[in-house]
A and B are shown apart, each in its own frame.
Chain A
Amino acid sequence: MAVATIERDAELMLRVREGDIESFAVLLEKYRGPVVHFLHRMILNQAVAEELAQEVFLRVYRSRANYEPTAKFTTWLFRIASHLALNHIRDGRHERNQASLDEEIGEGMERQVASRGPSVEQTLVRESKFVEIRRAIQNLPAKQRAAVLMHKYEEMEYSQIAAVLECSESAVKSLLFRAYEGLRAKLAHLAG
C-alpha cells in the first residue's frame, strides 16, 4: 500500500476526529467493499457480513475522539473487522446464520438448468468449483482463514497481517503456510 494512501487515510480520520462527517463518508466509500467482502468470506453469509461491517464502521466513528495515527488506518480497520468475525465464529452464530452451500448450489443449478442456455455444463462445473473453494476456506481454522483472506484479497504483507491479528510475523508465516497447505491438498485438483 502506498505511503501517500496511508497518509491520506490518517488525515481523513483526523478530520473525522475534528467532526468532519464528509471525511468519514470518503473512508466509508473507499473501504466499504473490502470490509464487507472480507467479512462475507469469513462468515459466508452476506446479510450477516453487512451487519458486522456496519458495526465495524460504527466503531470506527465512535472511536474517532481517541484516534491516533500510530498505525495504518487499514490495520486498525481490519483489526476491528477480524475481532468481530472471530468472535462471531467463536460464538457459533455463523453456523446458524450461514447459508447452506448445498442449498446455494442447488438454487444456482436450478436457475441455470431452467434457462437451458448453451453453457449449462460449464456453469455447473464453475458452480461446483466455487462450492469446493468455499468449503475449503470454510474448513480452515478461523485465524488461518482470516490470514489467507487478508493475504490473498487485501494483498497485505506479513507484518500488517501480524499487526491486525496481534501476533508475531513468524506466527503469521506459519499460519499462512499451514492454511495454504490445507488448501493445496483440497484444491490442487482444480488445475486446468
Chain B
Amino acid sequence: MSPNTMSCPLQSGNADVLLSYCAHMLDEERTELIEQHVAMCAECFALAEEQKTVWAALDGWESEPISAGFDNALFARIAAAERSSAWEQWTAPVRQWLAGDIGWKPALSVGVACLTLVVGIYLQNPARPVAATPTVEIAAQELEQAERALEDMEMLRQLEPTADEEKRL
C-alpha cells in the first residue's frame, strides 16, 4: 500500500496506529508508510507532533528509588502469611462455627454421629477389666481341675478292694 492510497488513520478511525507510530511500536514497513502519510496530512502531522511532545514529557518522569528493605519486608510478610495460613486451615471450622457461619444443626448432626460412633465401638468391644480376665480364667480352670481330680480319686477309691475282700482273696 502506498502512502497515496493509504487511508488517513484519523478519518478511518484508526488513530491507534498513529499512537503506535509515536510510541515506536510499529514495524519498519508500517512506520515508513505512516511517516509518509503524516508528511502529507496536516491533521495527522499535528496530532503526531503533539503526541511526541506528550511522549517526551512522560519520558522525563523518572521513577523513585525503591527502599532497601523492600525484599526483607516482603519475605517477612510471606512468612507471616504462611504461618497464619496453616493456623487458619486448622482452626477454620471452629472459627466458622463460633462466627455463626455454621449453624447449630450441622454441629448437632456431627455431635450425634460422633456419639453413635463411640457407642457402637463400646458395644462392639465392651470395656472389661483387662488385667483381671486371665487371672479369673486361670482360677476357674484350677477349680475345675481340682474338682476333676477329686472325682477321679473318689472313683479310684470305690474301685479299690476293701480289707474283707482282700482277706477273702
Residues on A facing B (Cβ under 8 Å): 28, 32-33, 36-37, 40-41, 46, 50, 53-54, 57-58, 61-62, 126, 129-130, 132-134, 137, 148, 151-153, 155, 157-158, 173, 176-177, 180, 183-184, 187-188, 190-191
Q: Is the interface of A mostly helix, strand, loop or mixed?
A: helix
Interface residues in B30-73 by Cβ distance below 8 A to A read 47, 49-51, 53-58, 60-61, 63-64, 66-67, 70-71, 73
Cα–Cα, bound, A57→B74 (Å):
8
Q: Within the complex, what minimum Cβ distance (angstroms) separates A51 from chain B?
A: 9
**Cβ distance B92 to chain A, nearest Cβ, rounded Å:** 16
Determine if B54 and A187 form an interchain contact, defined as CB atoms under 8 angstroms apart: yes
Q: Are B61 and A190 in contact (CB under 8 A)?
A: no
User: Which residues B1-29 have CB closer than 8 A to chain A?
Assistant: 15-16, 19, 23, 25
Q: How far is the CB of A97 from chain B (nearest CB, A)?
A: 15
25 residue pairs of the A-B complex, CB under 8 angstroms, read A28-B71, A32-B70, A36-B63, A36-B66, A36-B70, A46-B64, A50-B66, A50-B70, A53-B70, A54-B73, A54-B74, A58-B77, A58-B78, A58-B81, A62-B85, A133-B57, A134-B61, A151-B19, A155-B25, A158-B16, A173-B15, A176-B16, A184-B47, A187-B57, A188-B50
B63–A157 CB distance below 8 A = no
B70 (CB) vs chain A CBs: closest residue = A50
Closest CB in chain B relative to A147 CB, distance in Å: 11
Residues of chain B lying within 8 A (CB to CB) of residue A190: 53, 56-57
Contact among A158, A177, A183, A188 for B15, CB-based, below 8 A:
A177
> In which size bucket is the chain B interface?
20 to 34
Tell me the smallest distance from the CB of A133 to a CB of chain B, in Å.
Answer: 5
Judge whether B19 and A129 touch: CB under 8 Å.
no
Name the one of B58, B66, B73 contacting A152, with C-beta atoms under 8 angstroms: B58
Hey, which chain B residues are within 8 Å of A133, CB to CB? 57-58, 60-61
Q: A126-B60, A133-B57, A184-B53 are in contact. List 7 more A-B contacts (CB 8 A).
A: A54-B73, A58-B77, A58-B78, A130-B61, A152-B23, A158-B16, A180-B19
